[in-house]
Amino acid sequence: MEIETKTVKQIASELGTNKNVIYRIIQKNNLRPIPEETNEQGRKNATRYTLGDFAIIKNEFIRLQETKKDTPEPSRDNKDTNSLESLQSLIESQRERIESLERELAESKRAESELRELLNKQIDQLTESQNQNKQLQTIIEQEQRIRAIQTLSIETKNKPKLLERFTSIFKPSRATEPTEKETPEE
């Protein structure tokens, strides 16, 4: 499935502006293009952006256009008054933007803190689980030894000669030992 993308030139054409405006919006919003591909000649293809990036660029472009419309043209006779008012208006809008960004930052920090806390809890639970697993393995090994000893004990009680048979396997056979009758007389 191929992702639908647009080049900067296509975006500028659709919005009726030039590429420089689009590049400024891209830079301002820290948008990253999709990884570049090369064509058959080995040259890099045009830089492309996803439709999600295009929506961000379009919204920012529209916002900029509306801001330009809202800003009145200063008349020559009250130029200083209008420029002071527009400067104050700009400062106020920037303050609002800064406050908004500070709220977003605080929310991001809170979310990060919650995620770190959750991650630490999961790490603690994993460590505890690993420790319990080690303890369980030790208990299983001890159980296996106990059962082996119990089995051997039961078998030796039911068959008392069993231990003698085991030991006789590892001792030299009596048939190969010289007996008194077979010893040569002196």
Tokens of 155: 């078998």
**Rounded mean pLDDT of the chain?**
79
> Residues 68-87: pLDDT tens digits?
776 655 555 555 666 777 78
| pLDDT value of residue 186 | 47
| pLDDT value of residue 139 | 94
Cα–Cα distance measured from residue 89 to residue 87, given in angstroms and rounded to the nearest whole number: 5
Average pLDDT over residues 100-111: 88
Average pLDDT over residues 88-95: 82
Domains and CATH numbers, the chain: 1-71 (1.10.1660.10)
DSSP 44: B
| pLDDT value of residue 115 | 92
pLDDT surpasses 70 at 11:
yes
Stronger pLDDT, 150 or 117, i.e. the higher one: 117
**Residue ranges of the alpha helices (H) in the chain?**
8-15, 19-28, 51-70, 79-158, 161-170
Cα–Cα distance measured from residue 102 to residue 111, given in angstroms and rounded to the nearest whole number: 14
pLDDT surpasses 70 at 127:
yes
Look at phi and psi of residue 30 and say left if phi exceeds 0, alpha if psi is from -120 to 50, else beta: left
| pLDDT value of residue 118 | 92
Structural contact between residues 19 and 8, judged by C-beta atoms closer than 8 angstroms: yes
pTM, whole model, 2 decimals?
0.36
Cα–Cα distance measured from residue 47 to residue 8, given in angstroms and rounded to the nearest whole number: 7
Show Cβ contacts of residue 162 under 8 Å, excluding neighbours closer than 6 positions: 155, 156
| pLDDT value of residue 121 | 93
Concatenated DSSP letters of 141-153: HHHHHHHHHHHHH
Average pLDDT over residues 151-171: 69
Least confident of 2-6, 69-73, 99-103, 178-182: 178-182
Read off the pLDDT band of 31 (50, 70, 90).
confident
Torsion angles phi and psi, residue 58, rounded to 5: -65, -45
pLDDT surpasses 90 at 92:
no
Closest alpha carbon to 7 in 17, 22, 21: 22
| pLDDT value of residue 75 | 52
